[in-house]
Structures are given as structure tokens and as C-alpha cells.
Amino acid sequence: MSWYRNTVWFVKGLREYTRGGYESASKQFNPADVDVDVAGRSFLITGANSGIGKATAKEIARRGGTVHLVCRNKERAEVAKEEIVTETGNQNIFLHIVDISNPKEIWKFAEKFQKEHKLNVLINNAGCMVNNRELTEDGLEKNFATNTLGTYIMTTALVPLLEKAADARVITVSSGGMLVQKLNISDLQSGSGPFDGTMVYAQNKRQQVVLTEQWAKAHRNIHFSVMHPGWADTPAVRSSMPDFYERMKNSLRTEDQGADTVLWLAVSAEATKLPSGLFFQDRQPVPTHLPLAYTHSPPEDEEKLMEVLEEFSQKFKSVSPG
């Protein structure tokens, strides 16, 4: 059935995920939803030096929020921070250098952050699509380490801080590509069979949807959501999917259009009127499975994913420096 899922997803993408899909959907948006002052609220955004992460950070900064940029590359991050401060006039922009593929670094960062800052909103935006199987220094497959385990550790490590906050939210930037994948807990690090970076990425994004649903059940005082930004023209798309980019570049969304639903989920009062744990596209909750796609998983598989990630997480916490 993979051919069916891929075909339906691509046709759906041409209709909904491109710039035209955004322009059509945005006719129903209420501009007042995001015309808000968030001064005094603290936002942490991973992967914030480019693309959707930077676009989101800039819009939150315009609205007066305190923004913590969590980035891997110090040089590019400093340029992004300066650009955000200059364009918005907001001085409350803070930079943290963390490699989200390195679980020990995430633990060290989160432990320090909790002692020094408050946090109202966590935006898990950092991600990667590595097209050949690469291992991190910890022996983890790089896509899994960044997209799944990194997101898991960053979120669970900061939940205690979020629990103390008013109107706490966690937003994870996923992908509609996850619609072509059924959760596979038997090979989380893609060690068997041929390696297809695009499908590994899609599997990680399915895992993020499951994480969000499970967190929503476990932490009732925090509003969790996961979203698809559509097909946007970002540096990550250009570098990781060059063929797709060349074919679609005239139809891709802008970075701001891709970031719109992230911003809406992060700042609007309307977002938290909807149940926690949903998957969003263009400010609307949408199904997490295509019709007839057979991508549903039994509850025990979803629980097993959480158990395995918690085991990984604690293993790296125990050797965390500091």
C-alpha cells in the first residue's frame, strides 16, 4: 500500500501544501488571533537561526515576547539574533548553542536553563534529513537522534519548568510526509534494509505525532500540538531535497507562510480552546492518517515508543556532565 499512500499524499500536497493552498486557507484566518502582545512571556525555539524557526522567532519578538534561540551553529545563530533584534527592536533575545543530535548536551542545557529562566512556550523546530545513514558520536542514527530523541529529551527535560507556567504550550514542527508512514518501533535507528533518508525523516515525523498525543494525555496542564508547515522554501528543503526543490520551487510557500501556524499555536488564545494533542495545518486540526492508508498503530506500539525513548533519555542523563 506504500504506492497508494505516496500518491495520495503527493496529490494532497499539490492541492494543500503549496503556496496556493496557503493563500486559499488564509482567507478564513482571523488576523486578530495573532495580533497580540506577549510581553512577559518566554518562548524557546530550537533550530531558530534559519527557515521556519527564525521566521517564528522574529514574529514572536515583534509581539514583545522574550525569545530563546537554541541553535547548533554559533556563527549563523549570532547573525540571526542580530537580524531579529535589529528588525524588531526587541532586546530580549537570548542565544543558546546546543546540538539537538547530542542528548548529553540537551540534558546539560535543560538543567541549566531551568535554574536561570522561566518558560511559557517550547517550540520544537530543529530537525534534519540526512540522506545517508550517519551515526553521531554516541552511535545514534543522526535523523533519529535529532528529530525524535532530541525532541523527546528537550521536551521531557523542560516539562517541570513548563508545569510552573501560566498557559504553557509545546508545539512541534512535523511534516505531512508522516502520512505515508506507519509507526515502526522495530527499527528506530534504520539499521536494517536499504536506507532512504526521506522515508526515515517521514517515520521520525510520525513518531513526533505519537509523542505529542502521548504527552497530551500525561501532562494536562500543558497544551501540546504538532503541525505541518506545508511545503516551504527553506534552506533545509533546498539542501536536503534538491530534486524536489527544483521541481516545486515556483509553488513553495514562503518561510513566513510556513511559520504562520506555529505562530498561531504559540500566541493565540484560539489555539488552546482546541483539545491538546492535535495535528494542525493552516490553523486547523487535520487527520493524522490518510483514508484507507492502514497507518494506524496499536496502543501498545505507541506506549513502547515512549518506553524506549525514556530508556535512551535516562541513559544519557546519567552520564550528563555537570
Closest CA to 145 of 262, 315, 297: 315
- Fill in the amino acid letter for 277: G
> Residue 284: which H helix or E strand, with range?
strand 284-285
Whether 201 is a known active-site residue: answer yes
How far is Cα 239 from Cα 161, in angstroms, rounded to an integer?
35
**What is the secondary structure of 293-316 as a DSSP string?**
------HHHHHHHHHHHHHHHHHH
Cβ within 8 Å of residue 202, ≥6 positions away: 175, 177, 178, 180, 181
Q: Which residue has the cell 527564525?
A: 54
Question: Is 127 exposed, middle or buried, given 0-12, 13-18 or 19+ CB atoms closer than 10 A?
Answer: buried
How far is Cα 251 from Cα 236, in angstroms, rounded to an integer?
16
How far is Cα 283 from Cα 69, in angstroms, rounded to an integer?
24
Taking a C-beta distance cutoff of 8 angstroms, is the pair 187, 181 a contact? no
DSSP-based three-state secondary structure for 171: strand
* Total residues belonging to the chain: 322
Checking DSSP bridges between strand 222-227 and strand 168-173, what pairing results, if any? parallel
Q: Which of 22, 201, 245, 294 is catalytic?
A: 201
Please list the active-site residues: 201
